[in-house]
Structure 1
Amino acid sequence: MSAKRVIIIGATSGIGLEVAKGYLKAGWQVGVAGRREEELEKIRRSAPRQVCIRQMDVTCKDAPRLLDELIGELGGMDLFLLSSGIGKQNLSLQPDIELQTAATNVEGFIRMVTAAYHYFEKQGHGHLAVISSIAGTRGLGSAPAYSATKRFQNTYIDALDQLARMNKLHITFTDIRPGFVATPLLKDDSYPLLMKTPAVAAHIIKALKKKKRVVVVDWRYQVIVFFWKLIPGWLWVRLPVKN
């Protein structure tokens, strides 16, 4: 039986990079994409017989074409994981920060997820996974665009799952929602319950193997999200919640 094939978008650092390492260790053929070519080359040199790379920016219109080229070079795709995303605290509500966040987390997200969906649609099967965030659970005043775009991603995957079922497509969907993770996205270690990327990646790979629909990483954040959902809206807006 030939090795499974995964393509990870946003694999030059953080969670995406650690997940790529995990699949390489497991013997998968891995296609990695990201904006930094030097980092992509490092991954390829680590396992040249298993890795294909493509420099890509999800906010650019040519990203779906580059994804298609990467799939062709890899020889196909069984699992697609979108790990690209940005987010910043924006207490001063600077419009540029909000719009940049939306460009990646909404426009770029749609661009890549629809491309993967159509590929699996033609193939007849596949597993489409995205990394969103627990921030999509409630609106966080310290990061309006980030929390709103993550809620968008949650809802979009729900809609695609329903669409695939309406069209009788054999596509599995997984929405991965981590808490705070020690990645370049978080510039310091002052965040509570900060998780290490290798542990988060291991959790994600295990959940993807089981083809879970929604994954909150880890159990502590599962508890937090449970209680967040119980807080009524009138009380939530009065809480000084910061991320």
Structure 2
Amino acid sequence: MTGQKALIVGGTSGIGLALAGLLAQDGFHVETVGLPALPTSASSGLPHGVRAVHHLDMTRQPEALTALDGIIRRMGGVDLFVISLGIMHFNEELDWEWERRTIEVNVAGFAAAANVGMRFFLERGRGHLVGISSIAALFGHRAAPAYSASKAFITNYLACLRQNAGYLGLPITVTEIRPGFVDTPLLPPGGWRPWVVPVDEAARQIRRAIRDKRERAYITRRWRLGAWAVRLLPRFLLNRLR
């Protein structure tokens, strides 16, 4: 992987930040994009080997799309484009502002980033697009309806991009990552949280999925079995899950 270039949207915190450090260790030229959770100086806050962080709000459209495409061009193109973008808020009261903001970031923001990355790969004729979804894409959570629905959107959006590359006969890999519960600030405290994994371990498993050019990967792998089991539950039991 030495000499390849990677851009991580949402790479200034959480899974994206941890993954940036691992890819830099693997020899990638890594740059990150995100809200200003980190300073712009690579010497204070960035993992070793990450070259730059760009502050950009993907919900500010269409300006964000132009800016993101400009970053890719200034890098001389990228081989790997990762989108680790999203917010979550338990919203049992169905406060519309939280629902609206979640859709704005997780749906419109994600799709905008994926659009820029995929269009570049279509122009170039090859590449690897990775999107971080969630196990919530497969079964919703009563307290987070917009979040769950947004992850289902990501699953289907990435599937369509993958189909497009296949139809065109282009060597563009599209990988969907489905994490379960990862110990980041996004994870609400308390409640039922089976198989919680540290963020560094989640990033290591994502790196492995990228190396293997997987179409889909569960983080951790046991969630593949968990997803299968939940699908078998009767609807009346699903409706009573906490």
Both proteins in one fold, TM over 0.5: yes
In structure 1, the residue matched to 2:147 is 146
- Structure 1 residues 46 and 235 mapped into 2: Cα distance closer, same or farther (>3 Å)? closer
In structure 2, the residue matched to 1:116 is 117
1:166 CA drift (Å) = 1.8
1:184 CA drift (Å) = 1.4
Q: In 2, distance between residues paired with 1:187 and 1:143? A: 11
**Contact 1:44 1:53 (8 Å CA) reproduced:** no
Q: In 2, distance between residues paired with 1:143 and 1:46? A: 31
Give 5+ residue unaligned stretches, structure 2.
none
Counterpart secondary structure, 1:41: coil
Counterpart secondary structure, 2:230: helix
Give runs of aligned pairs for residues 41-56 of structure 1, distance below 5 A.
41-42=41-42, 51-56=51-56
In structure 2, the residue matched to 1:219 is 221
Q: In 1, distance between residues paired with 2:70 and 2:177? A: 26
Q: In 1, distance between residues paired with 2:50 and 2:197? A: 28
Q: Deviations over 1:25-72 (max 9, x none)?
A: 111100101110644434777578751331111111122222222212
Q: In 2, distance between residues paired with 1:193 and 1:77? A: 34
Tell me the matched-pair count: 240
- Structure 1 residues 216 and 11 mapped into 2: Cα distance closer, same or farther (>3 Å)? same
Give runs of aligned pairs for residues 201-216 of structure 1, distance below 5 A.
201-216=203-218
User: Does 1:230 pair with 2:236?
Assistant: no
Q: Deviations over 1:129-160 (max 9, x none)?
A: 10000001112111101111101110111111
1:220 CA drift (Å) = 2.8
In structure 2, the residue matched to 1:94 is 95
**Contact 1:15 1:200 (8 Å CA) reproduced:** yes
In structure 1, the residue matched to 2:138 is 137
Q: In 1, distance between residues paired with 2:38 and 2:52? A: 14
Q: In 2, distance between residues paired with 1:165 and 1:137? A: 24
- Structure 1 residues 218 and 38 mapped into 2: Cα distance closer, same or farther (>3 Å)? closer
- Structure 1 residues 138 and 170 mapped into 2: Cα distance closer, same or farther (>3 Å)? same
**Contact 2:176 2:217 (8 Å CA) reproduced:** yes
Of stretches 175-184 and 221-230 in structure 1, the one that deviates more from structure 2 is 221-230
Q: Deviations over 1:181-206 (max 9, x none)?
A: 11111243663322101100000001
Of stretches 41-50 and 51-60 in structure 1, the one that deviates more from structure 2 is 41-50
Identity over the aligned pairs, expressed in percent?
34
**Contact 2:38 2:46 (8 Å CA) reproduced:** no
Give runs of aligned pairs for residues 155-166 of structure 1, distance below 5 A.
155-166=156-167
Counterpart secondary structure, 2:116: helix
**Contact 1:6 1:28 (8 Å CA) reproduced:** yes
**Contact 1:9 1:82 (8 Å CA) reproduced:** yes
Counterpart secondary structure, 2:127: strand
- Structure 1 residues 47 and 92 mapped into 2: Cα distance closer, same or farther (>3 Å)? closer
Q: In 2, distance between residues paired with 1:207 and 1:56? A: 27
**Contact 2:22 2:207 (8 Å CA) reproduced:** yes
Give runs of aligned pairs for residues 167-182 of structure 1, distance below 5 A.
167-182=168-183
**Contact 2:137 2:149 (8 Å CA) reproduced:** yes
Q: In 1, distance between residues paired with 2:201 and 2:49? A: 26
**Contact 1:52 1:74 (8 Å CA) reproduced:** no
In structure 2, the residue matched to 1:58 is 58
**Contact 1:59 1:107 (8 Å CA) reproduced:** yes
- Structure 1 residues 188 and 47 mapped into 2: Cα distance closer, same or farther (>3 Å)? closer
Q: In 2, distance between residues paired with 1:132 and 1:45? A: 26
1:91 CA drift (Å) = 0.9
Q: In 2, distance between residues paired with 1:94 and 1:189? A: 21
Report runs of 4+ in structure 1 exceeding 6 Å deviation. none
